[in-house]
A = this chain, B = another copy of it.
């Protein structure tokens, strides 16, 4: 008989390990709040989509990086003749807004697929990168300037 649990704060502890999320709804909740990026649903959806069409054979990282390039080209094309100010209002035209949603989606789909076939956890990758960026670009030194960090 004891009032000391074998494992204090078990949910929170387990929440930091991926396995926990499949076991414990509460842990999953905590994990979801902590994550910057959760694209596991999309990764699964694209995997199924490709498998049903026997397209996984085409989904090498090299090919996917090219598909990503093609889709980004379509996104960039929308903005090419706009001034920066016009680009900020691009979403107010319904036809352009639809095109933007479509192209952003296409880029994200291939990006998530590429990370998936490479086995890269985008949440981890993004956290590490943001942490490094914070060191590279100290707010006090770069405020209002976009010069490269090695020229500060």
A contact set with B: CB distance below 8 Å: 25-26, 28-29, 32-39, 41-42, 45-46, 49, 52-55, 57-58, 60-63, 65-88, 90-91, 97, 100-102, 104-109, 111-112, 114-115, 117-120, 122, 124-126, 128-130, 133-134, 137, 139, 142-144, 146
Residues of B within 8 A of A57 (CB): 144
Check A105 against B80 for contact (C-beta < 8 Å). no
Check B79 against A91 for contact (C-beta < 8 Å). no
Check A101 against B125 for contact (C-beta < 8 Å). yes
Tell me what chain A mostly uses at the interface: helix, strand, loop, or mixed: helix
Cross-interface CB contact of A105 among B34, B60, B86, B129, cutoff 8 Å: B129
Residues of B within 8 A of A105 (CB): 122, 125-126, 128-130
Residues of B within 8 A of A118 (CB): 90-91, 100, 104
Assembly CA distance A105 to B36 (angstroms): 12
Residues of B within 8 A of A107 (CB): 68, 111
Assembly CA distance A62 to B134 (angstroms): 24
Check A54 against B126 for contact (C-beta < 8 Å). no
Check B81 against A146 for contact (C-beta < 8 Å). yes
Cross-interface CB contact of A70 among B74, B100, B104, cutoff 8 Å: B74
Residues of B within 8 A of A55 (CB): 142, 144, 146
Most chain B CB inside 10 Å of its own CB: which residue of A35, A65, A133: A65
Residues of B within 8 A of A72 (CB): 68-69, 72-73
Could you tell me the distance in whole angstroms from the C-beta of A2 to the nearest C-beta in chain B?
21
